Structure 1
C-alpha cells in the first residue's frame, strides 16, 4: 500500500525563494502540515522542487496544494537513480485554485531523486506558491 515517502532524511531543494526570505517562505513549509505556511518562489519561468530520498522509491502519486493564482500550469516530473541523470516520468496540469490536488503516476520507474518542474505559472511573473507537497509510493528493495 502506498504511503508518504517524505521523511526526516528526505533532502529537498528549490529553484528560488521569494526575496531569499527562507524564514518566511522557505521550502520546509511545504512539509510542515501547517495550512498557514508555504513555499513561495521568486519570479521567473521554470521553478522546481527537487527531492532526494534516503533509499530508492517507486512513486505512485503526487499531492500538491497551491495558492490560487500562483499555481503551476504546465508541469512535469523527472526521476533519476542516485548518481544518474534525470529523465522525464510524466506531465501534469494542475487546476488554478486552492484545493489539494492529486496526480497519479502510472508505471513510474524506481528512483532515488525526484524533480517536480513548474514550467510556467498562472502568475504573470512566474511565481509559484505551494502550501503542501507530498509524494506517495513504496520503498524499493
Structure 2
C-alpha cells in the first residue's frame, strides 16, 4: 500500500505541475503547488501531498470534450483507485444545488476532480496532452 500511495502522490505532483503550465488551464488546486493557499501547512504536516487534485479550464475550452477525449483516465466518481479517475464536479457532485449556488460557492463549471493513480507518468501526461489539444 505504501509503494502504491507513494507512486500516486508522485504522479499527482508531477501532473499538477504540468497542468499548471498548460495554456488551456486556468487553475490547478493541489496542496503540493506553491500557489496553493495551504501549501506551507501541507509542507509542514505531511510527507507527501496526496493523490487528489482539481483543475479548471479557461473560458472557451470545453471541459466535457476534454474528459471525453481522455483515453487512459477513467470517468468515475470513486477515489483511491490504481487508475486515474476524473469527474466533472459541477455536473455531478454539486449538480442539484444549481448554477447560482455553485457560483456563490466558487465552484467553476469547468472544474475537474482527479484521483491520480499509479499509471506510468509519461502515459498519463501524454493522455492529458492529447485531450487538451482537442479542446
- TM-score, length-scaled by structure 2: 0.34
Structure with the greater relative contact order (CA < 8 A, sep ≥ 6): 1 or 2?
Answer: 1
Q: Greater share of strand residues, 1 or 2?
A: 1
- TM-score, length-scaled by structure 1: 0.33
Q: Greater share of helix residues, 1 or 2?
A: 2
